[in-house]
Structure 1
Amino acid sequence: MSTMSERVDKRDGKLAMAHLYVAFIALFLGGLCGLLQVLVRSGKFTLPAGIGYYQVLTTHGVLLGLVLTTFFIIGFLIAGMSKTAGTFTEGRRKTGWIGFWLMTVGTAITATFILLNQASVLYTFYAPLKAHPGFYIGLALVVVGSWISGFAMFAHYRAWKKQNRGQVGPLFSFMAVVTMLLWLVATLGVAATVLVQFIPWSLGLVDKIDVLVSRTLFWYFGHPLVYFWLLPAYMAWYVVIPKVIGGKIFSDALARLSFILFLLFSIPVGFHHQLVEPGVDPNWKFIQVVLTFMVVIPSLLTAFSMFATFEQYGRSKGATGLFGWMRVLPWSDARFFAPFVGMLIFIPAGAGGIVNASNQLDQVVHNTIWITGHFHLTVATTVLLTFFGVGYWLIPHLTGRVLTKEMNRLAIIQTCIWAVGMFFMSAAMHIEGLLGAPRRSSFSTYGNSAQAAEWIPYQIAQAVGGTILFIGIIIAIIIFLDLAFFAPKGETEFPIGEVAEAAERTPMVFENWKLWIGITIALILFAYTIPFIDIIQNAPPGSKGYKLW
């Protein structure tokens, strides 16, 4: 039987840290662009040197929504798989480095053309907005590089399984495989639209593009992207937090079930982002909305499992009463406090997601800044605070340093600053969205209408919140630099929880990858085949001239 490593191999740690360096650079640059955005929206600030509003908007969305998240997640997963499934072989590690450099080069190419103002096409890069071909080529390299890193992880897990026949894989490694599998299947959509539509179009090889096809392929990717962000946070909640607080994992089987359900139901649901778009049969929109609501089940399973873990730990410490266990949780430990705040904020974030996916309610908030506020609660708060919490032990573990009391205190302060800043900014975005303020618009586009004047207080609140959040980013960067280069040398634990003794045995059916991948493919084909054929056959006359379709 394979045993878990005490610490991540230094060679694997170097690969993981390379991803984290890029992630935190993206955090600073993307956060700076976010600050500029909210200042411009307030009407009190003008961008200098001819910089365009949509230029910083695109940079903010790409760097934080794609670059920061993807690099951090892959670095985290590589480190966790090295810890739980053993050191990577030289070949798999080289594969990981190839993936890293492809992603990094792709990011540099994409960022270059955004900064040159030749790719101000927003995070969603909807046609008919057209960017320089380099923008799309760079994004394609990022996606392909992430696939290569994923293949290295798949091979590593398969090797562990061969050496440990008849055993369920380590929980962290199992979750890493599900996460990268979801990413691989989901990014097929964005890769298809970029390679087959946008790159030929931007190069002038074709003169028309089917806009509805491109949006459908994007949102085939765009919704599971949210779960690509969330699943690594859930991994930290399920596997790491129990160890951090001194408790046990409530149920290994329940954790695996929730991840399998996310794989099944997070991909065939992209139409719920296109509820107000013509050209898609309403019946298929309804079917995908139903499938969208299925992800409520694993979300509730996760909430139940986490609070069961907290309660079990509290009872073991003598806590009594309905919420007595809350008093014994380690509130002064930033490794716990930051992710826990993220968990709490996911409650209103999840409620907002239900609004977005509901046909009638979505009519009110669709394409308003409510949607932006929702994303800032999910990825920019729940996910990012959890990632910060992971960083407080992962970075010193990989660099051979320790989180000092001073840095832990600063991390607690950073979490509080983040929560306050997001309260101002996201709450203002939600309210302004209900008042009809459009998404993706600058102050100069509003005009002098009475309705636009009604939005001004909320835009100022967003600027206040965004400024507070940027202070939080600066503090996060200071902590990162300290843990990477300046903190005292020492040993920091990579916390991997143990399963509670009373937990049920994990069924081997969770390792039946042919079954789960087969069901995933069947659901995707069911949800997309007929409507996609309809979209192509009933395309407007202009788009039918697009010869690649």
Structure 2
Amino acid sequence: MLAKVDVRDARLAMAHLYTAFIALALGGLAGLLQVLVRSGRFTLPANIGYYQVLTVHGVLLGLVLTTFFIIGFQHAAISRTSGTYRKGARLTGWIGFWVMLLGTGMAAVMILLNEATVLYTFYAPLQAHWIFYLGLTFVVIGSWIGGAAMIAEYINWRKQHPGQTSPLLTFMAIINMVLWIVATLGVAGTVLFQLLPWSLGLVDEVDVLISRTLFWYFGHPLVYFWLLPAYMAWYVIIPKVIGGKIFSDSLARLSFILFLLFSIPVGFHHQLVEPGIDAAWKFLQVTLTFMVVIPSLMTAFSLFATFEMYGRSKGATGLFGWFKKLPWGDARFCVPFIGMVAFIPAGAGGLINASNQMNQVVHNTIWVTGHFHLTLATSVVLTFFGIAYWLVPHLTGRVLTKAMNRLAIVQAITWAVGMSIMSGAMHAVGLLGAPRRSSYSTYGDAQQALDWIPYQVAQAVGGTILFLGIILILYIFINLAFFAPKGEEEFPIGETADEAEKTPMVLENWKIWLTVLTALILVAYTIPFAEMIQNAPPGSKGFKLW
């Protein structure tokens, strides 16, 4: 008898996944329209604006898809590894879901009515309807409520098992929710105290520098909120899928702690070209940004150590003999592995973006968009798809059939090909100076626009292939949720290798890690933030638009 997520907790998790895949369908369609418009050979019907579909694409895929999928996956993960949710925690989880859904609906309606065409970053001086900002607030608050349910179950497990390390997957989920809660304090602050009063007419102006700083306090750790669930699958799920074992529980926990510490106080590296922030503080945060390379390399080492140990156990010899022993025909492994490989060039691009000198070359060009599509839309999303292939049938009482498994691999290859073409073109034309968000057909320099035509066409071709990949994943999801044969699909949880060292309890001493996190944030932001307020233009009272 397989260990299963309780059916009541499964319904909670699936409610989040249904919402996530609806967002994928709508956001994917908007993305297709977007790249077609960028090609200069397609005009949107019914007076739909280019920036309107750009906002739909960014908000639905960058915020809605990811947040709902992650929270649904983490509810299921904690229920599976730490035990069935208590009634109060489950109710809290449902309240969080409905609050998030309400907020998503409010924001979506305003975008569709063209009252919130402000992109997913919603920078001032672009202004949206107050209902859009209130909807975003509900999404954040709802996620906090869902996170409270997870944290309550984690605390309960610790009380029931004193002196023991918590289940690894539960620990990772809690780290990710702590990261999310701390990071979203920034976006909640700018929305509640700046943008919402501004859109309601309660104040006339906002301080753009403070607004952008608060956004990027949230915006960079948002990347790791997306990425860490993929790391959960890579560390804990994939070893079980391939028949191996987790290389080191301690190393996995330490890497997640380091991501928590070094992913939040680094927002200034997104603001390297902005005045009003002293260069010394930018340098500090760039340095902290590069510290994230350490847990990334730890993860790569751990994963490939797991793969090699498995291959050697199957008789592999030579330096790369183990590579042939991996289960390439299993979509639960193959699809996330493609995501892992994509993270190599994605990580390299991230180092360029965070480097002061090289950032000057690519800043605000479509290179950044290409990087974004390698990290989130390839490494993270393909891993999410790989999770869905076993999680959805597990939660719905069905099985992943051989036909769906083969189609899942086809889907991943389709996605990888489309993304390679589209993202590759974005990187290349970005180096030529193509703007990040503008439609090329409206760009002022006619000769440059002509030079960019081949890259525009390549983006349209890649985007079209990607849309075919979205159709395939939606078909697979619907099949696994409603039509696949009834049965029991495993929720794979890896075991730690026998020779691994015992995990020290200091890794779960939250007093230490939260104190260090708080100190890093205060050091990185207190003085720069005070200087922004102190040096605001005369008479602005903190609400100056400049």
TM-score when normalising by structure 1? 0.98
Percent identity between matched residues is 75
Partners in 2 of 1:422 and 1:146 — Cα distance?
Answer: 30
Aligned to 1:213: 210
The correspondence for 2:533, drawn from 519, 532, 536, is 536
Measure the CA separation in 1 of the matches of 2:123 and 2:479.
Answer: 40
Matched, 1:344 2:338: no
Distance 1:448 1:287 in 2: 37
Match 1:126 to one of 112, 123, 144: 123
CA distance in 2, matches of 1:340, 1:541: 55
> How far apart in 2 are the matches of 1:238 and 1:102?
31
Question: Which residue does the alignment assign to 2:433?
Answer: 436
Distance 1:385 1:542, change over 3 A: farther
Cross-structure match for 2:107: 110
CA shift, 1:157, in A, is 0.3
Deviation at 1:191, TM superposition (A): 0.2
Matched, 1:71 2:68: yes
What does residue range 237-276 of structure 1 map to in structure 2 within 5 Å?
Answer: 237-276=234-273
* Counterpart mapping for 1:155-166 below 5 A: 155-166=152-163
Could you say what secondary structure the match of 2:452 adopts? Answer: helix
Answer yes or no: is 1:52 the counterpart of 2:25: no
1:197 alignment partner, one of 194, 199, 207: 194
Distance 2:357 2:113 in 1: 41
Q: Which residue of 2 aligns with 1:151?
A: 148
| Distance in 2 of aligned mates of 1:331 and 1:365 | 36
Using the TM superposition, give the Cα deviation of residue 449 of structure 1 relative to its aligned residue in structure 2, in angstroms: 1.9
Are residue 400 (structure 1) and residue 400 (structure 2) matched? Answer: no
Contact 2:39/2:441, CA 8 A, preserved across alignment: no
CA–CA distance in structure 2, aligned partners of residues 431 and 87 of structure 1: 49
Confirm whether residue 318 of structure 1 aligns to residue 315 of structure 2: yes
> Could you tell me which amino acid in structure 1 is paired with residue 477 of structure 2?
F
Deviation for aligned residue 1:451: 1.3
TM-superposed deviation, 1:341: 0.3
1:444 shift after superposition = 3.5
CA distance in 2, matches of 1:434, 1:504: 47
1:360 to 340, 357, 360: 357
Residue in 2 that maps onto 1:182: 179
SS of the aligned residue for 1:141 comes to helix
Q: Separation in 2 of the partners of 1:478 and 1:547?
A: 49
Q: 1:12-71 deviations in whole A, cap 9, x for unaligned?
A: 000000000000000000000000000000001000000000000001000000000000
Q: Distance in 2 between matches of 1:47 and 1:542?
A: 44
- Rounded to whole Å, the distance in 2 between the matches of 1:17 and 1:120 is 30
TM-score (structure 2 length as normaliser): 0.99
What per-residue deviation string (whole Å, max 9, x for no partner) do you get for residues 199-218 of structure 1?
Answer: 00000000010000000000
Match 2:487 to one of 456, 467, 490: 490
1:301-335 deviation line (CA, Å, top 9, x unaligned): 00000000000000000001111000010000000
Q: CA deviation at 1:452?
A: 1.6
Instruction: Name the SS for the 1:493 alignment partner.
Output: coil
**How far off is 1:546 after superposition?**
2.5
Using the alignment, how far apart are the partners of 2:544 and 2:127 within structure 1? 18
Q: Contact 1:208–1:542 (CA<8 Å) still a contact in 2? A: no
Shift of 1:445: 2.1
Please tell me whether residue 297 in structure 1 is matched to residue 294 in structure 2. Answer: yes
Residue identity matched to 1:444: S
CA contact (8 A) 1:422 1:469 kept: yes
RMSD, aligned α-carbons = 1.2
- 1:138 alignment partner in structure 2: 135
Are 2:459 and 1:462 equivalent residues in the alignment? yes
- What secondary structure is seen at the aligned counterpart in 1 of 2:5? coil
Q: Secondary structure at the match of 1:224?
A: helix
Give 2:412's aligned residue: 415
Q: Is the 2:533–2:542 contact (alpha carbons within 8 Å) kept by the matching residues of 1? A: no
Deviations 1:424-452 (A, max 9, x none): 10000001110001111013321352112
Structure 2 unmatched runs, 5+: none
Determine the C-alpha separation between the residues in 2 that align with 1:227 and 1:280.
24
Aligned 8 A contact 2:536 2:542 in 1: no
CA positional deviation for 1:265 = 0.2
State the SS of the aligned residue for 2:491.
coil
Say how many residue pairs are matched.
545
Q: Which residue among 2, 13, 17 is the counterpart of 2:14?
A: 17
Letter in 2 for 1:242: P
Match of 1:223 in 2: 220
Counterpart of 2:164, as a letter, is Q
Note the C-alpha offset of 1:5: 8.1
Matches of 1:486 and 1:30, distance apart in 2: 25
**Cα displacement string for residues 375-396 of structure 1 (whole angstroms, at most 9, x for unaligned residues):** 0000000000000000000000
Structure 1 residue 246: deviation in Å? 0.3
Q: Alpha-carbon deviation of 1:543?
A: 3.8
Tell me which amino acid in the other structure corresponds to 1:136: Y
Q: 1:26 to 1:325 in 2, by over 3 A?
A: same
The one-letter code sitting in structure 1 at the alignment partner of 2:118 is V
For 2:507 and 2:38, locate their aligned partners in 1 and report how far apart those are by CA, in whole Å.
Answer: 48
Moved more, 539-548 or 90-99: 539-548
CA contact (8 A) 1:5 1:84 kept: no
Deviation, 1:456, is: 1.2
With over 3 angstroms needed to count, the CA separation of the structure-2 counterparts of 1:127 and 1:542, relative to structure 1, is farther
Structure 1 Cα separation of the partners of residues 220 and 512 of structure 2: 23
Structure 1: gaps spanning 5 or more residues = none
Q: Flag as ranges the 4+ runs of structure 1 deviating above 3 A.
A: 541-545
SS of equivalent residue, structure 1 residue 541: coil
Structure 1 letter corresponding to 2:90: R
Q: How far apart in 1 are the matches of 2:540 and 2:46?
A: 38
Letter in 2 for 1:445: T
Partner SS, residue 122 of structure 1: coil
Query: How far apart, CA to CA, are the structure 1 residues paired with 2:467 and 2:518?
Result: 41
Q: Does 1:375 align with 2:372?
A: yes
* Whole-Å separation in 1 of the counterparts to 2:190 and 2:449: 36
- How far residue 544 of structure 1 moved from its aligned partner, in angstroms, is 3.6
Distance 1:35 1:282 in 2: 39
Q: Deviations over 1:110-142 (max 9, x none)?
A: 000000000000111110000000110000000
Q: 1:302 to 1:545 in 2, by over 3 A?
A: closer
Aligned equivalent of 1:511: 508
Q: Distance in 2 between matches of 1:545 and 1:285?
A: 22
What is the CA distance between 1:221 and its match in structure 2?
A: 0.2
Would you say 1:478 and 2:475 are equivalent positions?
Answer: yes
